[in-house]
Amino acid sequence: MNPEPKAPPPGARLRDLATGYFVSRALQVAARLDVATLLASGPRSCAELARLTRTHEDTLYRLLRALASFGVFLEEADGRFANTELSSPLRSDVPGSMRAMLLFLGEETMLRTWESLEHSVTTGEPGFEHVYGTHHFDYLSRHPDEAKVFDAAMTSYSTMVNAAIVKAYDFSVFRTVVDVAGGRGSTLCTILETNPTLRGTLFDMPHVIEGAREYIEQRGLADRCEVVAGDFFEAVPPGADAYFMKHIIHDWDDRRCVKILHNCHGVMPTAAKLLVSERVVPPGNGRSYSKLADLLMLLMTPGGKERTEAQFRALFAAGGFELVRLISTESEHIVLECVKR
């Protein structure tokens, strides 16, 4: 009878946590080489993959062997590599692809920002501003190539969340919805596709929604979706039945969030709903990505944070709203439904 495998000692487990960035960098290199897409048609030899990716065969093998040990790719008995459940989302040609997100996480700006975590923890200041001297969104407005990488990553992430949101929440009760800071419009398009009688307004900064009209036309929704440029710290489009924000509140400190909420409150009809899709930090010591994402907000934003349910309730109250429902989805996002007080 084989003995039960022993759990690694605490020192080894701590080492594995500390070297997590080894895995992260290996994943990002594999994403940049687009290995998973090359394996879409079936297993390939490392020699063939090296030729297609213009890399060194032996060192590419070492990269893929390391990732296979974490379940990302599979080394078969004949030495060929194949996709697995974990590597399949790295393909660039599948719905819900995570490749764009991994490319963004491997950008120099992201890596240098994480190097400044100690500065952020010590001072409370955003690491990005410490390194680059400006807010992340301002930086993106002046660096269009990096903005494209960021936008692609956010669109990629949205595809994982959008379907879960429209499955969990009934938007058919509304006639009109404004997607506040909705980027290129992937979420709003999903809402409109699922609710054919609904009309939408996509609202965001001019440089952010550049190309949104073309994207909406490609989705076949130009006749039901208006694109409006503006600044939500100044005003938002008036008069809709629902105001929707996804992944926006966590970017800002309480004072600026309240300003956004007040601007929505001031133009909403009495019976309108405010719908906010965010992660909600759970209580206790359990592992949750929201707790790591909270560190990312510390680094990248001026006071942004992931919030607990109690913090959301207090924030909405300060903005003139009452949180009436929390709707779980099949993703890590919660839909927080609010009404005017």
User: Which pLDDT belongs to residue 121?
Assistant: 97
Q: Of the candidates 319, 325, 321, 322, which has an alpha carbon nearest to the alpha carbon of residue 337?
A: 325
How crowded is the C-beta side of 333, counted as CA atoms within 13 Å? 26
CA distances to 80, 143, 152, 187, 260 from 155, rounded to whole Å, are: 32, 18, 5, 9, 23
| 38-80 pLDDT, tens digit each | 999 999 999 999 999 999 999 999 999 999 999 999 999 999 9
Rg (CA), the chain: 22
Check residue 3 and give its pLDDT: 66
Instruction: Give the residue ranges of DSSP H helices in 210-340.
Output: 212-218, 254-267, 289-300, 309-318
User: How many CB atoms sit inside 10 A of residue 141's CB?
Assistant: 15
Q: What pairs with residue 228 in β-bridges?
A: 203
Does the predicted model carry a pTM greater than 0.85? Answer: yes
126, 302 in Cβ contact below 8 A?
yes
Judge if 10-94 and 108-340 fold alike in CATH terms: no
Which residues face 277 on adjacent strands?
A: 246, 335
CA 147/CA 143 separation, integer angstroms: 6
Catalytic residues: 250
- Helical H segments across the chain, by residue range: 10-18, 20-33, 35-38, 46-53, 57-68, 99-105, 108-114, 117-123, 127-132, 136-142, 144-168, 186-194, 212-218, 254-267, 289-300, 309-318
Among 238, 232, 228, CA closest to 268: 238
Domain at 108-340: CATH code: 3.40.50.150
Q: Which two tokens stand for residue 254?
A: 């309480």
From the options 1.20.200.10, 3.30.230.10, 1.10.10.10, 3.40.50.2300, give the CATH code of 10-94.
1.10.10.10
Which residue ranges of the chain lie beneath pLDDT 70?
Answer: 1-3
> What is the pLDDT, as a whole number, of residue 1?
57
Dihedral sign, CA of 117, 108, 232, 173?
negative
pLDDT at residue number 2: 65
Q: Delimit the domains of the chain by residue range.
A: 10-94, 108-340
pLDDT at 196: 96
Residues with Cβ < 8 Å from 270, sequence gap 6 or more?
340
Residue whose pair of structure tokens reads 């400044």 in the numeric block: 116
Per-residue pLDDT, 20: 93
